[in-house]
Amino acid sequence: MASVSAVLNSEWTKIRTVASTTWTLISAFVVTVAMGAALSALLNAQFDDLPAAEQATFDPTFVSFSGMVLGQLAMVVFGVLVVGTEYSSGMIRTSLAAVPQRGSFLFSKIAVAGALALVVGLATSFVTFFLSQALLGEHGTDIGAENVLRAVFGGGVYMGLIAVFSMGVAAMLRSSMLSLGILMPFFFLVSQILSAVPGAKSVARYFPDRAGSKIMQVLPDAMNSDPAPYGPWGGLGIMVLWVVAALIGGYLVLRKRDA
Amino acid sequence: MIEAVGLTKRYGAKTAVHNLSFQVRPGAVTGFLGPNGSGKSTTMRMMLGLDRPTSGHVTIGGHAFRSLPNAPRQVGALLDAKAVHGGRSARNHLLCLAQLAGIPAARVDEVLGVVGLQDVAKRRSKGFSLGMGQRLGIAAALLGDPQVLLFDEPVNGLDPEGILWVRNLMKRLASEGRTVFVSSHLMSEMAVTADHLIVIGRGQLLSDMSVKDFISANSADFARVRVSTDRPEGREKLTASLTEAGGRVMPEADGALRVTGLGLPRISDLAHAAEVRLWELSPHQASLEEAYMRMTQAAVDYRSTADAKAGLQPPPGYGAPGLPGHVAPPPPEVPQQGWYAPPPPGQNPYAAPAAPHGPVPAAGTAPAAPADPTTRETSEDPR
């Protein structure tokens, strides 16, 4: 039996020797930081024009994470490609012939890729926080303020979880194209739109990205957003449940199906 | 030692492999033959635990593949040369496989040298030709210095030098006492590489015997007889005489006769008695190719049909008027393929449908059609 450390080692070699890893992770970082900084600068300039309700619940930490909406898509691509290219290239058969224990293959791969996504996610969230606070000027906050560190740390965890969720979905669907075709519109459009539709709101708030992003809010209903029936940790918990479900689904598919 | 017992694989209603039982012994190259779609690759995937058999089981060294301790050190496999991530370099591809089995990185450079890819080790495998991909796949199989090696169509896309190299490699691996299992549809290749043959058709075992036994069990020797052409009635006379003596005579397209069931001296005696002069009397032995074709004839899934080109015929009046013959040129006489073994009379499925295959234009029938009348014109001019 191939030992777990050997499989982890091998998966690390796999992930660092393809160009897509570098490009997707750099995009996630750059897009999130650039968009967060731009919006922070804009809001700082136009703070007085904001509606009174938004001024009252102004959450400088949450504002700095505005870029996540787009940055998470790069994380989705990263997660999908890590698993999906095994299938699209046919490498999966070579891999499974070398590691017949499919569980240790899949979870080693996800552990390595998830850890990498978490590290990049944390770097992204801390850089975007400090840069945005600098640009927000007098409206900004400080890392030492109440709950701010939790929100910034949570932003990194959120990005890592989005990537792991995508890996689970890709393992279930066994195809990069199909996974991207479902996840990209879901996170970019469906989730955003449904959370604004009155009737669908109560369902949409339990979607992984809606629930998970609660961790990035310092004020409970930041920027006059809808109140949710769960707190920041509860929201992250809901997202973790989604991730666990995707991983179990992916594992069952890999174990049951012919490669 | 690989052992399959009652191996069966169904995909829905289609049975890919049916009740296959065989053993692959160490110290010999075992060829695994079958037409396209006969279940060769499915069988190999089941050996590697990639596909789960519907029933039956296959073991390697007494273990199911999935329960083998450190599988890459015991079994090396080349399944699909293109099954690599194209963005990864050859060396990194092998490196990640080596790390799985705890194989040192130095071994990676070693096998790259063995397959002759050391100069392109740093290049992305995306740009590799099929032959280079095969070499990379063979390198991956050799990585763990395993006792059991599986190769699925290893010579596909290789140049003659590469084919020779693979042939010698297989033989050397077997002579070192390893179990070597090679699938192929190239009979001529297996004839010189394999010691033992397992033939399947439509997922069922057709034959499991040594190459030598296989040929003698499946081929019929025949004699080719050519009668002097200055006396055409001699041919009928000899045919009658040979048939009377118990031989079976098949006319060949070029006027020669194939005779089975009679020895060469007997044919000569009969010809002498019938006062027919012979211009040729030669012994022929069926090759492995012929034996294999005969065996798998009934089990071929994908057989080509005549290309009628019904929808591509130019409309009447199109092209050169006054050349009535150009619409349907008569198919040129195609001589019967020489490799086909003497079949029982009237059962040759290759002779009949083969003829219309002749006049297939190289590419694009549309541009070829207008060119047709001109060539015909010149050829008909002298008349």
Rounded CA separation A74/A68 (Å): 10
Min Cα distance B99 → chain A (Å) is 5
Residue B9 pLDDT: 93
Task: Work out the average pLDDT over B364-376.
Answer: 42
Of chain B, the percentage scoring pLDDT greater than 90 comes to: 39
Rounded CA separation B295/B285 (Å): 16
- Examine the pLDDT at A107 and tell me if it is beyond 80: yes
pLDDT range class, residue B378, cuts 50, 70, 90: very low
- Examine the pLDDT at A134 and tell me if it is beyond 50: yes
Rounded CA separation B312/B314 (Å): 6
Say yes or no for a CB contact (<8 Å) between B77 and A17.
no
With beta carbons under 8 A apart, name residues in chain A contacting B45: 93, 258-259
* B77 reaches A (C-beta below 8 A): yes
Would you say the C-alpha torsion B182, B186, B187, B191 has a positive or negative sign?
negative
Q: ipTM of this model?
A: 0.86
Contact B326, B346 (CB under 8 A): no
Tokens for B40? Answer: 């060769």
Tokens for A185? Answer: 């519109």
* B88 reaches A (C-beta below 8 A): yes
* B87 reaches A (C-beta below 8 A): yes
Mean pLDDT of chain A: 91
Say yes or no for a CB contact (<8 Å) between A93 and B83.
yes
Cross-chain CB nearest to B82 (options A19, A90, A259): A90
Chain B segment 274-313 residues within 8 A of A by beta carbon are none
Contact B208, B273 (CB under 8 A): no
For residue B150, list its beta bridge partners. B77, B181
Contact B257, B291 (CB under 8 A): no
Task: Work out the average pLDDT over A14-30.
Answer: 93
Which residue of chain B has the CA closest to A97? B48
DSSP state for residue B364 in the 8-state scheme: -
Rounded CA separation B94/B120 (Å): 13
With beta carbons under 8 A apart, name residues in chain A contacting B88: 14, 17-18
Q: Does B340 or B79 have the greater pLDDT score?
A: B79
Length of chain B: 383
* B71 reaches A (C-beta below 8 A): yes
Q: Which residues of A touch B (CB under 8 A)?
A: 1-3, 6-7, 9-11, 13-14, 17-20, 85-86, 89-94, 96-101, 258-259
- H or E, element range at B31: strand B28-33
Residue with tokens 């519907």: B54
Say yes or no for a CB contact (<8 Å) between A10 and B96.
yes
Cross-chain CB nearest to B70 (options A2, A11, A93): A2
Rounded CA separation A78/A167 (Å): 8
Say yes or no for a CB contact (<8 Å) between B67 and A100.
yes
Contact A39, A128 (CB under 8 A): no
φ/ψ (deg, to 5) at B301: -85, -40
The string of DSSP codes covering B188-245 is HHHHHH-SEEEEEETTEEEEEEEHHHHHHHH---EEEEEE-TT-THHHHHHHHHHHHT
pLDDT range class, residue B119, cuts 50, 70, 90: very high
Say yes or no for a CB contact (<8 Å) between A13 and B95.
yes
Cα atoms in the Cβ-side hemisphere of radius 13 Å centred on B302: 5
Of chain B, the percentage scoring pLDDT greater than 70 comes to: 80
Chain B segment 340-359 residues within 8 A of A by beta carbon are none
Q: Does B289 or A218 have the greater pLDDT score?
A: A218
Residue B315 pLDDT: 65
The string of DSSP codes covering chain A is ---HHHHHHHHHHHHHTSHHHHHHHHHHHHHHHHHHHHHHHHHHHTGGGS-HHHHHT--HHHHHTTTHHHHHHHHHHHHHHHHHHHHHHSHHHHHHHH---HHHHHHHHHHHHHHHHHHHHHHHHHHHHHHHHHHHGGG---TTSTTHHHHHHHHHHHHHHHHHHHHHHHHHHT-HHHHHHHHHHIIIIIHHHHTTSTTTHHHHTTSHHHHHGGGG-SSTTGGGPPP-SS-HHHHHHHHHHHHHHHHHHHHHHHHHS--
Tokens for B71? Answer: 């599988």
Tokens for B327? Answer: 């619409």
Which segment of A154-168, A202-216, B216-230 scores lowest on mean pLDDT?
A: B216-230
Tokens for B115? Answer: 């397959």
Cross-chain CB nearest to A93 (options B68, B80, B102): B80
- Examine the pLDDT at A27 and tell me if it is beyond 90: yes
pLDDT range class, residue B286, cuts 50, 70, 90: low
Report which residue type is found at A78.
F
Rounded CA separation B339/B303 (Å): 18
Rounded CA separation A94/B67 (Å): 17
**Number of inter-chain CB pairs under 8 A, A vs B:** 94
pLDDT in tens, B302-351: 777 778 787 787 666 555 544 444 444 444 444 444 444 444 444 444 44
Min Cα distance B368 → chain A (Å) is 39
- Examine the pLDDT at B355 and tell me if it is beyond 90: no
* B95 reaches A (C-beta below 8 A): yes
Collapsing DSSP to helix, strand or coil, B89 comes out as: strand
Of chain A, the percentage scoring pLDDT greater than 90 comes to: 61
- Examine the pLDDT at B255 and tell me if it is beyond 90: no
* B69 reaches A (C-beta below 8 A): yes
- H or E, element range at B58: strand B55-60
With beta carbons under 8 A apart, name residues in chain A contacting B99: 6, 9-10, 13
Q: Does A8 or B262 have the greater pLDDT score?
A: A8
Say yes or no for a CB contact (<8 Å) between B99 and A10.
yes
* B49 reaches A (C-beta below 8 A): yes
Residue B357 pLDDT: 44
- Examine the pLDDT at B272 and tell me if it is beyond 70: yes
Which segment of A233-237, B285-289, B301-305 scores lowest on mean pLDDT?
A: B285-289
DSSP state for residue B70 in the 8-state scheme: T
Tokens for A244? Answer: 């666990």
Task: Work out the average pLDDT over A188-208.
Answer: 86
Which segment of A44-53, B5-14, B173-182, B319-328 scores lowest on mean pLDDT?
A: B319-328
Residue B318 pLDDT: 57
Tokens for B70? Answer: 């450190």
Domains of chain B and any CATH numbers: 2-217 (3.40.50.300), 220-284 (3.30.70.100)
Residue B26 CB-density burial (10 A; 0-12 exposed, 13-18 middle, 19+ buried): middle
With beta carbons under 8 A apart, name residues in chain B contacting A86: 85
With beta carbons under 8 A apart, name residues in chain A contacting B71: 2, 97-100
CA R_g for chain B? 27
pLDDT range class, residue A53, cuts 50, 70, 90: confident
* B85 reaches A (C-beta below 8 A): yes
Task: Work out the average pLDDT over A212-225.
Answer: 81
Min Cα distance A230 → chain B (Å) is 43
Which residue of chain B has the CA closest to A104? B100
- H or E, element range at B281: strand B278-284
pLDDT range class, residue A247, cuts 50, 70, 90: very high
Residue B220 pLDDT: 66
With beta carbons under 8 A apart, name residues in chain A contacting B127: none
Say yes or no for a CB contact (<8 Å) between B66 and A100.
yes
Rounded CA separation B85/B97 (Å): 12
Say yes or no for a CB contact (<8 Å) between A85 and B75.
no
